[in-house]
Amino acid sequence: MEILQIVTIGIVSTVLVVLLRQWDRPEFAIIVSIVTGIFIISMLLDKLKYIIDTLSQLIRYTNMESAYFTIVLKIIGIAYIVEFGAEISRDAGEEAIASKVELGGKIIIMVLAMPILLALIDLIIKILP
Amino acid sequence: MKLISFVKHWLQDIIMIFIIITLIEILLPNSNMRKYINMVVGFLIILVLISPFLKLLNQNYNIDDLISEIHIETSDYNLEDESELLSTQDEQIKELYINRFKSELEKLIYETSNYKVDYINIYINEEKFEELQQLEILVSEKEKEEDETKDSIVTVEIKDVSIKDINNEMDLHKEFLEWDAVELKKIIYQNFDIPKENIKIFLNSSKVGELDGKFGE
Which tens digit of pLDDT belongs to each residue from A74-85? Answer: 888 898 889 889
**pLDDT score recorded for residue B85:** 74
Domain spanning B83-143+172-203, CATH architecture: 2-Layer Sandwich (3.30)
**Min CA distance, A13 vs chain B (Å)?**
22
Q: What percent of chain A has pLDDT over 90?
A: 32
Q: Is pLDDT at A16 greater than 90 in this prediction?
A: yes
**pLDDT score recorded for residue B34:** 83
Cβ <8 Å between B20 and A80: no
In whole angstroms, what is the distance from residue A122 CA to residue A125 CA? 5
Asked if residue B25 lies in contact with residue A99, where contact means CB atoms within 8 angstroms, the answer is no
Query: Which pLDDT tens digits describe chain B residue by residue (217 residues)?
Result: 777 888 888 888 888 888 888 888 888 777 778 888 888 888 888 888 887 777 667 655 444 454 455 555 555 555 556 677 777 887 888 888 888 888 888 888 888 777 777 778 877 776 665 666 777 887 777 765 444 444 555 555 555 554 544 445 444 445 555 567 777 777 777 777 777 777 777 777 654 444 444 444 3
Asked if residue B82 lies in contact with residue B40, where contact means CB atoms within 8 angstroms, the answer is no
CA-nearest residue of chain B to A109?
B36
Q: Please tell me which of the candidates B13, B53, B76 has its beta carbon nearest to residue A127.
A: B53
Interface membership of B68 toward A (CB under 8 Å): yes
DSSP string, A68-119: HHHHHHHHHHHHHHHHHHHHHHHHTT-HHHHHHHHHHHHHHHHHHHHHHHHH
Q: Please tell me which of the candidates A63, A113, A115 has its beta carbon nearest to residue B13.
A: A63
Interface membership of A41 toward B (CB under 8 Å): no
**pLDDT score recorded for residue B215:** 47
Interface membership of A79 toward B (CB under 8 Å): yes
**pLDDT score recorded for residue B177:** 52
Cβ <8 Å between B47 and A62: no
Cβ <8 Å between A67 and B80: yes
Phi, psi of B136 (to 5 degrees): -115, 125
Cβ <8 Å between A116 and B31: no
**pLDDT score recorded for residue B75:** 53
Average pLDDT, chain A: 88
In whole angstroms, what is the distance from residue B44 CA to residue B50 CA? 10
Q: Is pLDDT at A58 greater than 50 in this prediction?
A: yes
Interface membership of B63 toward A (CB under 8 Å): no
**pLDDT score recorded for residue B188:** 78
Q: What's chain B's length in residues?
A: 217
Q: Please tell me which of the candidates A58, A63, A72 has its beta carbon nearest to residue B40.
A: A72
Q: Which residues, numbered 74 to 113 in chain B, qualify as contacts with chain A under a Cβ-Cβ cut-off of 8 Å?
A: 76-80
**Higher per-residue pLDDT: A5 or B214:** A5
What residues contact residue B95 under an 8 Å CB cut-off, 6+ apart? none
Asked if residue B12 lies in contact with residue B51, where contact means CB atoms within 8 angstroms, the answer is no
Beta strand ranges found along B25-83 (DSSP E): none
**pLDDT score recorded for residue B191:** 77
In whole angstroms, what is the distance from residue B13 CA to residue B48 CA? 7
Ranges of each domain in chain A:
1-45, 64-128
In whole angstroms, what is the distance from residue A19 CA to residue A29 CA? 9
CA-nearest residue of chain A to B14?
A62
**Min CA distance, B15 vs chain A (Å)?**
9
- Size of the A and B interface in Cβ pairs below 8 Å: 109
**pLDDT score recorded for residue B181:** 75
* pTM, two decimal places: 0.50
Q: Is pLDDT at A7 greater than 90 in this prediction?
A: yes
Which tens digit of pLDDT belongs to each residue from A30-50? Answer: 899 889 989 998 998 889 889
Residue B204 half-sphere exposure toward CB, CA atoms < 13 A? 26
**pLDDT score recorded for residue B26:** 85
Ranges of each domain in chain B:
1-65, 83-143+172-203
